Chains A and B, each alone.
Chain A
Amino acid sequence: MAIRVTHELHQRRRSRNVGLLIVLLGFVAIVFGLTVVKVTRLGDASAFEGYDHVVQPGLAEVAEDAGDGDAADGASQ
């Protein structure tokens, strides 16, 4: 077998390397994108709506309608 001939095994190995490169680049892009989104929305209370132990502005609006504005104040702090 000629050593320089491209074997099918080389193609599979190449697909694995290229695939891993794409996955790693995608992971870096996701972490970067998440960082940008979170840092640029630090002043927006609604951005933290899904987080634990944080007052949810959507629910606070309901409380406001009922004459209780404290929850909304807490959410904006």
Chain B
Amino acid sequence: MTDASLDTMTPEAGFGDYFALLKPRVMSLVVFTALVGLVVAPVSLHPFVGFVAVLCIAVGAGASGALNMWWDADIDAHMKRTRNRPIPAGRVAPGEALALGVALSGFSVVMLWLATNALAAALLAFTIFYYAVIYSMWLKRWTPQNIVIGGAAGSFPPMVGWAAATGAVSVESILMFAVIFMWTPPHFWSLALFVKSDYGDAKVPMLTETHGRRITRNHVLGYGVALAPVTLLLALSPVGGPVALAVALAVTLWFTAACWRVWSRDELAAIADNYAVEKRAFRISLSYLFLVFGALLAEKALAVWGLGGWGGGWAFGIGG
């Protein structure tokens, strides 16, 4: 290639374009929940090994994001929110995204295995497979329940973090998984309510398009209510404590009220205020997860001074 051809070529990708393939915003949630799973575990890892474990989980999540962008490039090109992503914008070739996703998947799983244990690595490998194959390639274009079942992929990171520290899966890590799993539907369906045209244009069977907005509002409230007992149970588990329980109660009331408001009004009212209530429910859902998991970190920090927790067992005495 000569420099004389520079102006006529397809743009070359910069480093930032490859980084964007890893969905850094999604990665921040993965890093946070994985870190909480790792830190609140009853077994402490060496800080450097813990850092490497969280980094591997983040890179694994990023790799599945790259594979998702490779597979969904046609959908992304139709949606306003995603059409400027590196592949539909023409800055990265689809094959490059595939290669990056596969390579980083392999690196992250093997490195997590070497740094911690085989169970954590296997869980990470399954998470990548679940997101890239089960969610992206299968569920997303097939069923309006894609968000519910596919949400499991985003729920695994705290379980992987816990497994990295303990080498096991336990009730606490399953509860952390369950909180994110139940949280995902109202979170995404709130989003879908105010970005309706995008999913329709891309022919993604989002619940708003297939079953209508009234049903979607019902689902937001249903899952919002179903999330409450799971969050409270996590706060009552050995990784919870009085602070976690207080926070869980407060955010549960806050989020359930937001879901109630989404449910209790019709489309005309939503259009009148430009979906302010739905946008608010979406924002509260983001705070919800950070506060619930942040409270678990606070309990762990308080335990250093002999405070917090339920005395090493459940709040109601099982295993305590």
| A interface list, Cβ under 8 A from B | 1, 3, 7, 9, 11-13, 15-16, 18-20, 30, 33-34, 37, 41, 47, 49-52, 54, 56, 58
Contacts and interface: CB of A to CB of B under 8 A. Distances in A.
27 contacts: A1-B3, A1-B6, A3-B4, A9-B11, A11-B14, A12-B12, A12-B13, A16-B12, A16-B15, A30-B52, A30-B111, A33-B48, A33-B52, A34-B115, A37-B46, A37-B48, A41-B46, A50-B43, A50-B116, A50-B117, A50-B165, A50-B166, A51-B116, A51-B167, A52-B117, A54-B167, A56-B43
Contacts of B3: 1, 3, 7
B254 interface: no
Contacts of A37: 46, 48-49
Q: Is the interface of B mostly helix, strand, loop or mixed?
A: helix
Nearest to A2: B3
Q: Is the interface of A mostly helix, strand, loop or mixed?
A: helix
A30 B55 contact: yes
A52 to B, nearest CB: 5
Given A16-B13, A19-B15, A51-B167, A9 B6 contact: yes
B118 interface: yes
B132 to A, nearest CB: 21
A37 to B, nearest CB: 5
Contacts of B55: 30
A38 to B, nearest CB: 8
Interface of B: 3-4, 6-7, 9, 11-16, 18-19, 42-43, 45-46, 48-49, 52, 55, 111, 114-120, 163-167
A20 B17 CA distance: 13
Instruction: Please name the 7 residue pairs, one residue from A and one from B, whose CB atoms are nearest each other, closest first.
Output: A19-B15, A12-B14, A15-B14, A50-B167, A15-B15, A49-B43, A3-B3
A34 B56 CA distance: 13
Nearest to A3: B3
B167 A52 contact: yes
A52 B11 contact: no
Contacts of A9: 6, 9, 11-12
A20 B12 contact: no
B49 A16 contact: no
Given A19-B19, A34-B49, 7 more contacts: A3-B3, A13-B14, A30-B55, A30-B111, A49-B167, A51-B116, A58-B42
A4 B117 CA distance: 52
B49 A12 contact: no
A50 B52 contact: no
Contacts of A15: 14-16
